[in-house]
Amino acid sequence: MLSRKFGKEVANYFSGSPLNRVSFMRTDHSFLLAALGHPTSSFLLFNNLNPLAKDPTKLHYVSFADVHPLIGDDPYLKSEEQLIAEYNSTVTIPQLLFLGLDERNKKGLEYNAYIGAPYFALDVTPKGTIVSQAESVIRKMEALGFQFIQGRMQMSLPAADAAIYAQARALLDWNARNPFCAQCGQPTLSINGGMKRTCPPKDMARLSTSIGANVDAKPTERPDCATRKGISNLSFPRTDPTVIMAVVSSDGRRVLIGRQKRWPPYWYSTLAGFVEPAESVEEAVRREVWEESGVKLGRVVIHSTQPWPYPANLMIGAIAQCIPGGETIDLKHDPELEHARWAEFDEIREALRVGTSGLGEPAHEGYKEGNLRLPTGTAIANQLLAAVVGGFVGESSKM
């Protein structure tokens, strides 16, 4: 019924993960321990947020035996309560994430009602007290011909791997950015399969400050912290909502596009911006478009969304229509755009056919220098523009 009324759901790049996250199992250390050593378990390694890969089009997953020198036999042997009680801020714990189960693999782990191959991500960046162990893992992988691919892999991975990569990168980045409690400044501990951080009440290291530490044999009571009271006693991963919109003229024949100064010549895209606190998605779309281009909008419709792990955005794709008389472009408000203009549907169609690519990459065969360039098909901006010129706002529209 919903598909008939609203059309087929759009799954953008970085979404559509094959994994069942079984988020309610992350506190079950018996489950995590069984998953860790199962023969079908896969581990995706990151060094400074760069994933291990055969080449930019293929990630390389390793086994438990490969990561054993770094994480040991049983990182989940103790309960979360025990780990918190025995916390020592001078000891570096390798950042390990449980990503989920691939239920397509019927030979995977069987645990209660769930069957699937477990997937983990592991940060092997050499740091703290695990430098030598991490370097050992890195050397082994490089000796086998694999590499930690630097830069963004957003345009080159198969869809399923891209979604797994996005989940892992976003969570590893969040953990790395939040080693200290935002309330009291003391070091935090990663728990819940890497999905939460907590501020332990005691520390096996005697802290002189929130950063420096002196080893002490006895647990030290840490300063009182508001995060240990009430319900808000954990730090959760952040996701920053961002709107990105294809803006149609009031007569439904043109699309608003803009470019930043740093982009290559002739390269344009849709407009985008962050959602602010206490602001609806629709309000954010209207505000951002007016601030960046001076164009005034009426109706706004949400088209689809795209997770974006750089570092933790959720791109909320919308299609909006200009009000009559509100199409005048004025860049005097927000200096983000170097140029903005209206493009006819036919120009957009031709650019989607031969003029798409990643920034700085060559266009398709048949592109004529000087014509419009647009983002590649893995970008939600491309999908929004394709929807607009494909009839989304026409008489046959599903919305």
DSSP string, 182-203: TTT--B-EEEGGGTEEE--SEE
For residues 26 and 237, what is the distance between their CA atoms, to the nearest angstrom?
14
Confidence of residue 217 (pLDDT cuts 50, 70, 90): low
Per residue in 86-103, pLDDT tens? 999 999 999 999 999 999
What is the distance of C-alpha 367 from the center of its chain? 32
Q: Would you say residue 279 has pLDDT above 50?
A: yes
Q: Would you say residue 47 has pLDDT above 90?
A: yes
Q: Would you say residue 51 has pLDDT above 90?
A: yes
Give the pLDDT mean for 109-135.
97
Give the pLDDT mean for 97-117.
97
Q: What is the pLDDT of residue 398?
A: 41
Give the pLDDT mean for 244-248.
98
Give the pLDDT mean for 336-358.
97
User: Of the given ranges (99-103, 216-220, 226-230, 334-338), which has the lowest mean pLDDT?
Assistant: 216-220
Strands 58-59 and 213-221: unpaired
Q: At 396, list the tokens.
A: 């046959």
| Number of continuous H segments (helices) and E segments (strands) in the chain | 9, 21
Q: What is the residue type of 36? A: L
Give the pLDDT mean for 19-40.
97
Confidence of residue 232 (pLDDT cuts 50, 70, 90): low
For residues 396 and 293, what is the distance between their CA atoms, to the nearest angstrom?
29
For residues 87 and 188, what is the distance between their CA atoms, to the nearest angstrom?
9
**Closest alpha carbon to 293 in 236, 249, 349:** 249
State the average pLDDT for the chain: 93
Q: What is the pLDDT of residue 397?
A: 41
Give the pLDDT mean for 201-207.
81
Q: Would you say residue 210 has pLDDT above 80?
A: no
Q: Would you say residue 213 has pLDDT above 50?
A: no
Strands 240-248 and 339-344: unpaired
For residues 61 and 381, what is the distance between their CA atoms, to the nearest angstrom?
31
User: Of the given ranges (55-64, 135-144, 229-238, 270-279), which has the lowest mean pLDDT?
Assistant: 229-238
Whether pTM exceeds 0.85 = yes
Q: Would you say residue 212 has pLDDT above 50?
A: no
Q: Would you say residue 178 has pLDDT above 80?
A: yes
> In sequence order, what are the beta bridge partners of 114?
111
Confidence of residue 124 (pLDDT cuts 50, 70, 90): very high
Give the pLDDT mean for 337-358.
97
For residues 222 and 201, what is the distance between their CA atoms, to the nearest angstrom?
5
Q: What is the pLDDT of residue 360?
A: 82
For residues 338 and 348, what is the distance between their CA atoms, to the nearest angstrom?
20
How many C-beta atoms surround the C-beta of residue 234 within 10 A?
15
For residues 75 and 169, what is the distance between their CA atoms, to the nearest angstrom?
21
User: Of the given ranges (84-98, 152-166, 183-197, 306-320), which has the lowest mean pLDDT?
Assistant: 152-166
For residues 286 and 295, what is the distance between their CA atoms, to the nearest angstrom?
9
Q: At 128, list the tokens.
A: 């703290």
